[in-house]
């Protein structure tokens, strides 16, 4: 919520193949990226959960720097209703040079981007400003078992290529289905539940996630205050993970009132054991 000596505003970078997707863009993000050794010009998409300052104050600086670094692509931004207007105002509020080419898409619910490798989905959250959460879903892939294929007399080439794409083929007068020679590797799901009260959208995002990144602003002893500001407690975040079959939980967006994370870890692990607390520059492989 507020940066502290050890903790920056929220931002997460998801690196997958050619994509570098930034979730939210807290203040000071460009310096954090430089410390982490990640070039801002590598960013391909920015997903904004909502327009409270702690989630967007880094945008002007980051996008200006990307312009100064001669960002050659078009940057895609996705955010809740109102995002286009906010961005227009933002770049009118200072002498903006070198602004990169960008396109803003306002999204509400469901699938909003898809390519051959993955999908991006949004769900509405319940917060004091229009707010959405996001899921990154890798597509399932078929891995051919080469030993099995060889036994069936199949050699590498167009036939195996077709099977890999999920097509049934004819070989020596027999029908061969993809699952006869291979096995499905389930795609990974990574979700981000930003500022919210417990709600249906948060459950949908969390459902079967390999990694769930969720806000957890306070411990549950001050739940009333947490609800008043429309946030999740640490307990809420842990229940969100456990009740929706998530595999791993990272809690973020802690109030600056907590100087240490030990109580947060212990409350979270009471309800969901595989929880860690986000730290600046943390790297996780999924």
Cite the active site residues: 54
Q: Is 54 in the site for Zn ion (CB under 5 A)?
A: yes
- Shortest distance, position 161 Cβ to Zn ion, whole Å: 47
Nearer to Zn ion, 146 or 230 (CB): 230
How far, in Å, CA of 113 to CA of 111, rounded?
A: 6
SS3 286: coil
**Closer residue to Zn ion (CB): 54 or 236:** 54
As measured in angstroms, the least distance from the Cβ of 56 to Zn ion is 10
Q: Does 27 bind Zn ion (CB under 5 A)?
A: no
Q: How far is the CB of 48 from Zn ion (least distance, A)?
A: 11
User: Interface with Zn ion by CB under 5 A: which range of 45-53, 84-92, 101-109, 204-212?
Assistant: 45-53
9 versus 137: smaller Cβ distance to Zn ion: 9
Q: Which residues lie closer than 8 Å to 38 by C-beta, 6 or more apart? A: 13, 20
Residues 214/237, Cβ–Cβ less than 8 Å: yes
- What is the total count of residues that contact Zn ion (CB under 5 A)? 3
Q: Does 24 contact Zn ion by CB under 5 A?
A: no
Contact code string over 182-211 relative to Zn ion, x by CB under 5 A: -------------x----------------
The verdict on 52 binding Zn ion (CB under 5 A) reads yes
| Ramachandran assignment for 280, one of left (phi > 0), alpha (psi -120 to 50 degrees), beta (any other) | beta
* 267 near Zn ion, judged by CB under 5 A: no
Q: Which is nearer to Zn ion, 11 or 30 (CB)?
A: 11
CB of 262 to Zn ion, least distance (A): 23
User: What would the two tokens of residue 219 be?
Assistant: 């411990």
**Residue 200, CB half-sphere, CA atoms under 13 Å: how many?**
3
DSSP state letter for 260: -
Pick 1 or 77: Cβ nearer Zn ion: 1
Closest Cα partner for 222 from 202, 236, 203? 236
Residue 189 or 253 having the CB closest to Zn ion: 253
Q: Smallest distance from the beta carbon of 158 to Zn ion, in angstroms?
A: 52
**Which contacts of 9-15 are long-range, i.e. CB under 8 A and separated by 24 or more positions?**
9/54, 9/55, 9/57, 9/58, 10/54, 10/55, 10/194, 10/252, 10/253, 10/278, 11/58, 12/192, 12/213, 12/252, 13/38, 13/43, 14/136, 14/190
- Shortest Å distance, C-beta 99 to Zn ion: 26
> What are the C-alpha distances in Å from 235 to residues 104, 149, 191, 283?
35, 49, 18, 24
- Tell how strand 118-125 and strand 102-106 pair up: unpaired
Name the strand (E) or helix (H) holding 264: helix 262-271
| Chain residues in the site for Zn ion (CB under 5 A) | 52, 54, 195
């Amino acid at each position: 919520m507020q940066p502290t000596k050890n903790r920056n505003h929220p931002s997460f970078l998801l690196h997958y193949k050619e994509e570098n997707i930034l979730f939210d863009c807290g203040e000071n993000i460009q310096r954090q990226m430089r410390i982490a050794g990640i070039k801002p010009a590598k960013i391909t998409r920015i997903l904004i959960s909502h327009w409270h300052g702690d989630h967007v104050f880094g945008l002007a600086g980051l996008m200006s720097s990307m312009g100064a670094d001669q960002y050659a692509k078009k940057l895609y931004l996705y955010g809740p209703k109102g995002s286009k207007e906010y961005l227009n105002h933002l770049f009118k509020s200072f002498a903006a040079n070198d602004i990169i080419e960008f396109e803003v898409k306002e999204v509400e619910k469901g699938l909003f981007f898809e390519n051959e490798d993955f999908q991006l989905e949004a769900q509405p959250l319940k917060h004091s400003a229009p707010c959405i959460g996001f899921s990154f879903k890798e597509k399932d892939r078929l891995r051919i078992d080469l030993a099995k294929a060889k036994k069936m007399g199949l050699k590498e080439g167009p036939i195996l290529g077709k099977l890999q794409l999920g097509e049934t083929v004819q070989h020596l007068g027999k029908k061969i289905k993809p699952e006869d020679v291979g096995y499905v590797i389930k795609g990974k799901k990574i979700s981000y539940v930003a500022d919210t009260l417990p709600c249906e959208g948060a459950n949908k995002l969390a459902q079967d996630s390999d990694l769930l990144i969720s806000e957890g602003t306070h411990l549950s002893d001050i739940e009333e205050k947490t609800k008043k500001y429309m946030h999740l407690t640490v307990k809420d975040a842990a229940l969100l993970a456990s009740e929706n079959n998530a595999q791993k939980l990272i809690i973020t967006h802690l109030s600056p009132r907590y100087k240490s994370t030990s109580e947060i870890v212990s409350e979270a692990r009471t309800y969901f054991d595989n929880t860690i607390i986000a730290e600046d520059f943390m790297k996780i492989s999924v």
